[in-house]
Amino acid sequence: MHMYRAAIDSLPFPEDKKFHKRAEVVLTGMRKLRTALTEAASHSRPSPTVMMALSDVRRRYDDLMERAADAPGSTLGQQLYTARIHAKLSPQEAANGMGLRPDLPDELEAGATPTDKETPLVQQLIAAIRTVAGLGDVEHRPAEENLNGWEEALVVNGAGEEASAAAH
């Protein structure tokens, strides 16, 4: 994990053209480390060290994905991951919300590109999740105009108060 901490600390500013490429290298490595630690935590004898390491990797991964999602040029996968984590939804739960195939969120979050048919659905999914999770000013985002089937969503108005709004 020390290597990843150093790599994260040495990333350029999010506005730098090199940011996403370097961040993706770190995120890819962290996904592999997270998988190995998850496996170790489920099969090894009780170990607080493994548990603490897994928690640290997950926290740092979430932080870096959020930083990447907020940066110019972010991918739909990065945006989906961040929205989904804030809304406390699993990849499969998020996919089911828009009738997408269950493995699509994991693929996108790992760097895959959606098809032309999937792209607008993923954008609508991100918008709907962001709305429900109360992330930012959702009223001015073009992708959030059509929540496509989400019956009720929480919308945060300018005063920061929550109001119920019906989806179109």
Q: What is the pLDDT of residues 125-138, one digit of tens each?
A: 999 999 988 886 44
> Does 16 fall in a domain?
yes
Q: Is 100 left (phi over 0), alpha (psi -120 to 50) or beta?
A: beta
> Does 137 fall in a domain?
no
Question: In which domain, by residue range, is 26 found?
Answer: 1-74
Beta bridge partners of 154: 164
Which residues of the chain are under the pLDDT cut of 70?
A: 44, 136-168
> Does 25 fall in a domain?
yes
Q: What is the pLDDT of residue 97?
A: 85
> Does 167 fall in a domain?
no
> Does 7 fall in a domain?
yes
> Does 53 fall in a domain?
yes
> Does 110 fall in a domain?
no
Q: Write out pLDDT tens, residues 102-130.
A: 999 999 999 999 999 999 999 999 999 99
pTM above 0.85, yes or no: no
Count of the separate structural domains present in the chain: 1
> Does 114 fall in a domain?
no
Of 51, 55, 104, 83, which is closest to residue 153 (Cα–Cα)? 83
Q: What is the pLDDT of residue 19?
A: 96
Q: What is the pLDDT of residue 142?
A: 36
